[in-house]
Each structure stands twice: as C-alpha cells, then as structure tokens.
Amino acid sequence: MPDTNKMVRNELVKEFSSFLPADSIIADAETQKPYECDGLSAYCEMPLLVVLPSTIEQVEKIVTICHHRKVPIVARGAGTSLCAGAMPNEQGVLLGLAKFNKILEIDADARTARVQPGVTNLSISQAVRDLGLYYAPDPSSQIACTIGGNVAENSGGVHCLKYGLTVHNILELKMITAQGEFLTIGSQALDTPGLDLLALMTGSEGLLGIMVEITVKLLPTPENARVVMAGFDSVIQAGDAVRDIIANGIIPAGLEMMDHLAITASEDFAHAGYPTQSHALLLCELDGTDAEVDAYITRIENIFKKQGATTIKVSQNEAERVLFWKGRKSAFPAIGRLSPDYYCMDGSIPRSQISHVLSKIASLAQRYGLRVANVFHAGDGNLHPLILYDAGVPGELERTEQLGGEILELCVEAGGCITGEHGVGIEKIRQMPAQFSDQEIKQFMVIKDAFDPLGLLNPGKGIPTLKQCQEYRALNREHSHDHGHEAHAHD
Amino acid sequence: MKTKLAPRFAGTKLADEAQSILRSCVHCGFCNATCPTYQELNDERDGPRGRIYLIKQLFEGADVTSATRTHLDRCLTCRSCETTCPSGVQYGRLIDMARGVMEHELPRSPGQRAIRWGLRKTLPNATLFGALLRIGQSVRPMMPPALKNKIPPRQISPRQHKRSDTHKRVMLLLEGCAQPSATPNTNAAVTRVLDRLGISLIAPAKAGCCGAVSYHLGAHDEGLDHMRANIDAWWPDIENGAEAIVISASGCGTMIKEYGHLLKDDPIYAQKATRVSDLAKDIAEILANEPLDRLKLRPTGKKIAVHTPCTLQHGQAQPDLISNILKRSGFELLLTSENHLCCGSAGTYSILQPTLAKRLLKRKINALEGQKPDVIATANIGCQLHLQTGTKTPIVHWIELIDQVIEI
Ligand code: SF4
Ligand code: SF4
C-alpha cells in the first residue's frame, strides 16, 4: 500500500474511533481479507478500511468525513452480490451495513414494514407470516441477501413474474447522500408528487446514495399455492411448454427452468425428488383460491403432457411446495458440488428466443471446452447460465470470462439485455457498450453527477467511462476476431 | 474457490484435505444466514464464509496471528453452516484442521494454555470430574448465585440404576465423562427403556472419553489416543456380537461417528475405527427403529419444547428425530423458533467464550419458551446443563420423558 494511502487510513481510523467502537473498524490486512470480495470471489480488491456502523448518525458522520477527504465509499450488505457490486475500492472505505438488521415497524393494516437495510429478504416474510402476509420478491439468495442490496440491484426472484421486482414492492427509502445528508425518497403513500426518484434509486447499484431505511409493501399470503414440477427430455420441449403457458394467458406465481447439470446438483443437496434423468425441469407455481389453483393445475398439466413431459408431480402440502423450491433456490451454490468455481451470468431474452439461445449457448460452451449449467426464470426470460471452471487452471478464468461475454452479447442480439436482476457492477461493465450507445452512457453519467459530483460512491461500477467504452468495443472486436481463428484451428 | 497451498503444506495429507474443502466453497454466503455468531456479531470475520477465508489464508502461507485466532475461537463448531451449505462444504473438518495447525504453529499464552490443559485433563476424566463436582455440590448452597448457577444440583435417581444383562440382544453403552456424576438419570432411563425393548447394555470399565474435548481444542494426538483406547475397550464385545454402541450424549455420538474418518490413516486402527463408527448410534436412532408400542406409553399432558442439539441436527444431520419420536409417543410438542441456532454450550465454549455463550443462551431460551413449555427436552448433557443455567423451566434428556411414562 502506498504511503499516502496508509496516512489517509491512519487519519480516518483516528477520526472514526471517536464515534465507532474498536471492533467496528477493521484496519489490519490480515482480518480485512474476508472483506475483499462479495459473492463473486473471482474479483477482489483490498479496501483501505472496513467500518461496521450500527446507527444512521454513524453512517452520516462516516460519509461526511469521507466526502470532506474525497475518499471513495463502497456500501455492502451481506456480500452476496454476483456482479462484484460490493467489491471494495483500494482507496476507499468499505461501509458494511450488516449491523442494521432490525425490523423497525410492521403495519398490518397498511400492509407495510419499515426495515433497516441489513435485514435479510427472507426474515421479512418470516416476521410477518403469522399476520398472513409476505414480501413478494424472493431472490434465490433470499436466506442471506439483504433488503438494502435488493434495492441497490432491483432484485427479482421466482415470484417477480407475477408480483414484480423490488421497485414494485417498496414505498419509501431513507438514504444518506454522497455529501452525508439525510434524504427521504418516496412516501408511505402509494404515489408522491414530482419525479419518481424511488424508481431511479432502485437498481442504482450504490452509485447514488446509501440506503439506511426501507419501507416495503407486504402482500396477503394467497389462500392456496401449489407447484407443478415436470421433467422433459429436452430443453426445447420445456421451452415450448413455457411459451404455451404464457400464450394461454396464464400468469403463474413462478415459472422456473433448470437443465440437467443444475437438476442433479440441486437434487444432491435438497433431496426434493427432482427427476435427475431429465434434461430439463420446469417448476410452475400457481396461487389463488383453492378453486382457481385446481383449475390452473389441470390446464398446466395438460400443457406439460402435450409437450411430452416425462414426469409430472404436484406439491401436496406447504412443506412439499417449499421443498420443491429449495432445490431451485440453492441451485447456484449447489453447482459447487460439480466444480470448484462457477461464473454466474445474468441476461434477459424475449421468451420466444429461449430454445434458440439455449442451443446457441450449448454450442458456444462446446467451442470453449467448458461446461455450462442453466438455471433460469423461464417465465420472464431471465437466464442464468453458470459457467463451470477451475480457477486453479491457468487461463481458465479468462476463457470463462470470454465465453460469458459472448453469452451476454448473444442475449443482446436476441433482442434482450445484459442484466436481468444481478446488476452490472464490475462483472458486466465490459458489456455495457454492447448494450448502450455513448449518448446513453453520457446520460447515465449526468445522473450520477447530479447526485455524486465527486464520484465517490461505488466508483468504477455500473457505468463505464467513455474511454473504457471505446477500449471494450475495440477489444471485443479483437476477441471475436482472434476467437474466429482459434475456433478454426480446433476444427 | 481457488486455493494455492503454501509450499510448507504441499503434499501433506492434512493440507490436501483442507484444500479440497476450501475449493468446494463457492463463497455464496448462504451459511452466514444460519451461523449463530454471525447473527450476533454481523461481522464477516465471525461467520463461516469469513472464517473459511481466514483459514484459506493460513493454508496459503500468509502470516497468521492471534487476530485470526480470535475469530476462529469464536466459532462454536455447531456446524449449522454445514447443513445450510448447498455446495457441501465440510466446515467442521476444516476448522478442526485449522485449529490443530494453529495450536502447533502459534502457541497461546501460558495462562490460556493452562486453562485449556485443565479442561482437557478434568472433563474427560470421569472419576476426577465426579469428585470435583461432588465437592462443588456440597458447598453449592453457600455459593453466590452466579457461581451456584454453574454447578448442577445432585440428581436423585427415581429408580435404582439396574443393569439388565439377561437379554439376547446386547448393545454397548457409552457412559460418558460428566454424565455418571452430573446427569446419572439419563443413562438410567436409557437402560430401563432398552430393557423394556429386550435389549441389554454393557459398559466396559476401560472405555472413557470419546475424545471430543481434546480434539476440538486442537490437541489432536491426545484426542486420537482417547479414540484408540475406546476402540480397544469395545472391541471384544463387538466381536462377541454387540449390535450397536448406544450414546445418549449427541456430542459424543458425533465424535464417535467420525472415528473412521479420523483414524483412516492409522494402519492398526483404521478398519476397527470404521466398524466402531458404523455401530455408533444415538439413542434416538435406536428407538426410531424399535416398536415403541411395546413400551405401553401413557403420556402426561405436559407441554414440551424440544431443543435438538447442534451435534444431532447438524453434526449427525438428524433435525427431526427426537421430535418425531416424542410425537409418535403421544407427547404434545410446542412450536419453537430459530431451531437451527446453537444454545452456546458447544463443548468447552461456554467456559472459554462466556460472553457470547451467554448471549446465545438468552436468545435460545427465548426461542424455546415462546409458548411457555412445562419442560424442555434435549439430547446432550452439555446443552442440558448450559440451558438450565438460563431458566427455571426444567431441562431434561428426552429419554427421561419416555422412561417416566412407561406403564409398569
Ligand atoms: S454456503 Fe457453503 S459454499 Fe456458500 S459460502 Fe458458505 S460454505 Fe461456502
Ligand atoms: S460451526 Fe457454527 S459458529 Fe462456527 S461458523 Fe459454522 S455456523 Fe458459525
């Protein structure tokens, strides 16, 4: 670490010590190490300093001091991001919000909950279960990921097909600006006058402000909810079944697909009774009144049969419904059973393109000599190809990144988008120029500038500089060129 | 996760195993969500994922100091992280290995060493422990409440602990170190219940501590010696056809089930150790496979909250076993919350990490007493004694509940 950085760090430690307990300031490299990355451990950087405040006043003070000294800040919740969105900055402070883990107020009549940002997604639903309510967005990592992180990435989940993303399920945010000021955005009512800043903040990846309190909307637990699980001999058949469900005007509460690799890994952990010999698995949840659910189940079963499903199972009780989902929700880490490392992609495509994109991914994977497992929100076309690799093999990570890049570009070509719900962070910053023109990127910068003119909040994430855009475009051209040659050599 | 062993570890069996465990972690962070110390401290360094990262540093050869040890020491080894981990990371093995290496490479202060040595010498020694406990019990009435709390009052056995040796079916019984003096009622109940089911128990005098105290404190060789001694003590009866080794303290049971793995490279004991591990059964596993209707149970209307010890629910992956047996036997079980969380007892943890242990105890008692139970049932002596220091509700081994309602 350069001496100037050390000096800054020592001064910051001194200032922070006046209002933070000693064990909330982590300055030694040895124990700072576990903070060097989030859920995407392939990308890491040691921060200047880690702080773990527990009150809003402490956050205000930390941000004010950093602003004054022009020190970057990266906010972090549970560190489960899959796009390196919470990877620290070498010259900055990593602001951990995990101690903000209280549910402050539950209003059963208004069906809202006011919570701190470090509360986990799942614990909100658990806390209001006895009131017959739940919080709808449910990312797979909901057991561990925090609501603050969900807001930063505008997370979705299994149920967002019917109930929307985070942005559709929050009412009010309290945040600290880059200058250290406290700001309330949105309100306890359904709409607020003026611009919809709430929508702007949701998904802003920690670039515009630091959330310190969130009011979420709660939904009544449906009278009945059941899952139909079906195995198919090919992903094409399963993809067609998805198309038919939507074409028939049915909006399931969740509609998920997994391929063979993902099925076997998840079953190994969850013992959910997945058909491990199948090449594709669909999980389709129907909710509503008993009569509605029964009627839908019959229609779904017919569609599955028509598309040649080899096995069909319907959850018989709540425990079984939860078990069916358990496998799906642990699918990413369960892939760790098959491979020491994986790289989780996150792209969206129009539903009509599912079969086409999947077969294209399979041939790309073959060309690169890497295995790809597919887990995705089939209902809304949000793909999560997981590239299996071994970081211990020289060059394999680089090849993985290239394959990942090609997959994302394939999504754009197919009329989709490079991120579904995991955010851009650092991981997808290279693909931003494939998705957006310089003009659009400039607009993003203007917005960033309006909130954070010094560029201190989560620098280097989300929005590439125009110079980077040029480089990435040139590099990508080179890559595809090189790769063309390589592919020939292999042929 | 990519892991590159430091040259000084390369090629050793221990480090190879550590590396393969480290590599199976994909850094998803799911485990932090069910880790008691992460729940309390909300610091990545005090959760499994962070500890794994710290251990990775150790095996990769970084300079590791007592700063790392602080966070490893705070781990309860409850293994809640293991049953949460979708990737199948064997965290319990990893932390044991790391602790062993650290005890060796980074000796503790003399005072710390003395305390740990003392624990390793007294707890596993049934005679010494019993004698000390009796002294404690005799002066207990005069002690200040804080200390008094730590010493369990003498249990009065309702019936004579009679050993039945008349049945055709024979099993070995682990007597345990602290159990004979602190909670004699437990094995007395085990003996009577199995007697009713037509099973006799034998407990060779030479069998002793399971080895867990030493092993989990990083004194691996000492722990392995305890294991070998037990294998020797049990072997003649195993050869004579003993069906199982019955254990009524799930902490010991978990350890004995690991003998096979821990002694796999011992040319003399490897095979016997595997056999012993296969035969090791928690009393709940035995009862789950016996016709309970033969016991003629008449449950009382007592409302019961169940605390399944971590060693049973995570270590032996049997989260519902006791609850299912009690339900099958007609008891009324109450709903409890945060079932996966440790009570803070965790072997010697409540002695070595008293502050955190107390916080966890309070949290656990609240979670268990939500619906006002008459009795709290558990399956491990450590949990039983520790929980009792935090509440007036009686804490018993669940087998005693069964024993009490057998129609005579
Ligand atoms: S859940 Fe398993 S794979 Fe995920 S971080 Fe924890 S130990 Fe690693
Ligand atoms: S063993 Fe228990 S205390 Fe230790 S890291 Fe795992 S869950 Fe946490």
- Residue B311 scores a pLDDT above 70: yes
Say yes or no: CB of residue B94 within 6 Å of ligand 2: no
Q: Which of B402, B405, B368 is nearest to B384 (CA)?
A: B368
* Neighbouring C-beta atoms of residue B303, cutoff 10 Å: 14
Cβ of B329 closer than 6 Å to ligand 2, yes or no, is: no
B23 CB neighbours in chain A (<8 A) are 340, 392
What's residue B144's pLDDT? 67
What local confidence, expressed as pLDDT, does residue A330 receive?
93
pLDDT reading at A2 higher than 80: no
- Whether A438 has a pLDDT exceeding 70, the answer reads yes
- Cα–Cα distance, A481 to A79 (Å, whole number): 36
SS3 A173: strand
Q: What is the mean pLDDT of residues A359-381?
A: 91
pLDDT at position B20: 94
- Per-residue pLDDT tens for B313-334? 999 999 999 999 999 999 999 9
The answer to whether residues A93 and A72 touch, using CB atoms and an 8 Å cutoff, is: yes
Report which listed range, A305-309, A401-405, B178-182, is most confident: A305-309
**pLDDT recorded at residue A478:** 63
In terms of Cα–Cα distance, which of A126, A127, A197, A131 is closest to A167?
A197
Cβ distance B1 to A35 less than 8 Å, yes or no, reads: no
3-class state of residue A468 by DSSP: helix
- The proportion of chain B whose per-residue pLDDT surpasses 90, expressed as a percent, equals 74
How many beta carbons lie within 10 A of that of residue B110, not counting itself? 7
| % of chain A residues with pLDDT over 70 | 97
**pLDDT tens, residue by residue, B294-307:** 888 888 889 999 99
User: For strand A103-107 and strand A93-96, is the pairing parallel, antiparallel, or unpaired?
Assistant: unpaired
Q: Which of A253, A224, A217, A227 is nearest to A133 (CA)?
A: A217
Q: What separation in Å is there between the alpha carbon of A42 and the centre of ligand 1?
A: 15
What residues have CB less than 8 Å from A470, skipping those under 6 apart? A433
Of A96-100, A449-453, A482-486, B116-120, the least confident:
A482-486
Residue B147 — pLDDT band, cuts 50, 70, 90?
low
What is residue A211's three-state secondary structure? Answer: strand
Q: Is B301 exposed, middle or buried (0-12, 13-18, 19+ CB in 10 A)?
A: exposed
Q: Measured from the CA of B38, which atom of ligand 2 is nearest? A: 8
> Where does B197-356 show beta strands of DSSP type E?
199-202, 245-247, 280-282, 303-306, 332-333
pLDDT on residue A374: 92
Query: Which residues in chain B are closer than 8 Å to A35, comparing Cβ atoms?
Result: 44, 50
> Residue A487 pLDDT > 50, yes or no?
no
pLDDT in tens, B226-269: 999 999 999 999 999 999 999 999 999 999 999 999 999 999 99
The rounded distance, in Å, linking the Cα atoms of B230 and B228 is 5
Backbone angles phi, psi at A355, to 5 degrees: -60, -45
Mutate to test the interface with A, among B16, B25, B35, B44 (most CBs of A within 10 A): B44
Tokens of B140: 């207990």
Would the pLDDT of B160 be above 60? Answer: no
Nearest to A341 among B1, B31, B64 (CB): B1
Alpha-carbon gap: A392 to the closest alpha carbon of chain B (Å):
6
* Cβ–Cβ gap A37/B27 under 8 Å: yes
Position A379 scores a pLDDT of 84
Q: In what order do the strands lie in the sheet with A93-96?
A: A25-26, A49-51, A93-96, A73-76
* B34 at interface of A, judged by CB pairs closer than 8 A: yes
- Residues of chain A in Cβ contact (below 8 Å) with chain B: 23, 26, 28, 30-31, 33-35, 37-41, 52, 78-80, 96, 98-99, 101, 118, 120, 122, 141, 143-145, 266, 268-270, 330-337, 340-342, 391-392
Q: Backbone dihedral region of B241: left (phi > 0), alpha (psi from -120 to 50 degrees) or beta?
A: left
What pLDDT, on the 0 to 100 scale, is given for residue A380?
83
The answer to whether B245 and B280 have CB atoms below 8 angstroms apart is yes
The reply to whether residue A392 touches residue B87, judged by beta carbons under 8 angstroms, is no
Angle (CA) B51-B54-B60 rounded to 5° is 140
- Encoded tokens for A486: 């390589």
Instruction: Answer whether A342's CB lies under 8 Å from A387's CB.
Output: yes
Q: Is A73 left (phi over 0), alpha (psi -120 to 50) or beta?
A: beta
Q: What's the confidence (pLDDT) of residue B88?
A: 94
Nearest Cα residue to A117 out of A135, A97, A134, A137: A97
Whether residue A66 has pLDDT greater than 60: yes
Answer whether B28 touches A (CB < 8 Å).
yes
- Report the separation in Å between the CA atom of B153 and the middle of ligand 2, taken as the mean of its atom positions: 31
Per-residue pLDDT tens over the stretch A164-214: 999 999 999 999 999 999 999 998 877 777 778 999 999 999 999 999 999
The single-letter DSSP state of residue A22 is: G
Q: Where are the beta strands (DSSP E) in B193-284?
A: 199-202, 245-247, 280-282
Burial of A180 (0-12, 13-18, 19+ CB in 10 A): middle
Sequence-distant (6+) residues with CB within 8 A of A245 are A252, A255, A284, A300, A303, A379
Would you state the structure tokens that stand for residue A130, as one six-digit string? 């006895």
| Burial class (CB within 10 angstroms; exposed 0-12, middle 13-18, buried 19+) of B115 | middle
Is the pLDDT reported for residue A490 higher than 50?
Answer: no
Q: What is the ipTM of this complex?
A: 0.92
pTM over 0.90: yes
Nearest-CA residue for atom 8 of ligand 2:
B35
In this structure, of A2-11, B159-168, B284-293, the range with the lowest mean pLDDT score is: B159-168
B363 and chain A in contact, CB less than 8 A = no
Across the interface, do B28 and A332 touch by the CB < 8 Å criterion? Answer: yes
- Taking the C-alpha atoms of residue A322 and residue A335, their distance in angstroms, rounded to an integer, is 20
pLDDT 10s digits, A208-261: 999 999 999 999 999 999 999 999 999 889 989 998 998 999 999 999 999 999
Beta pairing, strands A210-217 & A170-176: antiparallel
- Take residue A488 and report the two structure tokens written for it: 């020939």
**Out of B44, B87, B88, whose CB is closest to A34?**
B44
- The per-residue pLDDT for A484 is 40
Which residues between 60 and 99 in chain B have a beta carbon less than 8 angstroms from any beta carbon of chain A? 62-65, 67-68, 71, 84-89
**What value does the mean pLDDT of chain A take?**
91
What per-residue confidence (pLDDT) applies to A422?
81
Angstrom distances, CA of residue B206 to CA of A264, A310, B125, B231: 47, 59, 12, 10
pLDDT value of residue A187: 86
Minimum mean pLDDT range among A133-147, A380-394, B26-40, B388-402: A380-394
Top pLDDT among B359 and B348 is at B359
Residues near ligand 1 with C-beta < 6 Å?
A 333, 336; B 25-31, 48-49, 52, 81, 84-85, 87, 89
- pLDDT band of B395, cuts 50, 70, 90: very high
Do B57 and A122 count as a contact with CB atoms less than 8 A apart?
no
Total Cβ atoms within 10 A of residue B329: 19
Query: What mean pLDDT is predicted for residues A396-419?
Result: 89
Question: Among candidates B168, B223, B233, which has minimal Cα distance to B199?
Answer: B168
- Mean pLDDT of the region B210-222: 92
Is residue A111 within 8 Å of A105, Cβ to Cβ?
no
Phi, psi of A224, deg, nearest 5:
-145, 145
pLDDT at B77: 95
Confidence (pLDDT) at A479: 57
DSSP A400-430: HHHHHHHHHHHHHHTT-BS-SSS--TTTTGG
CB contact under 8 A, B44 and A391: no
- Rounded-to-integer distance, Cα A404 and Cα A411, Å: 11
Cα of B254 to ligand 2 centre, how many Å?
16
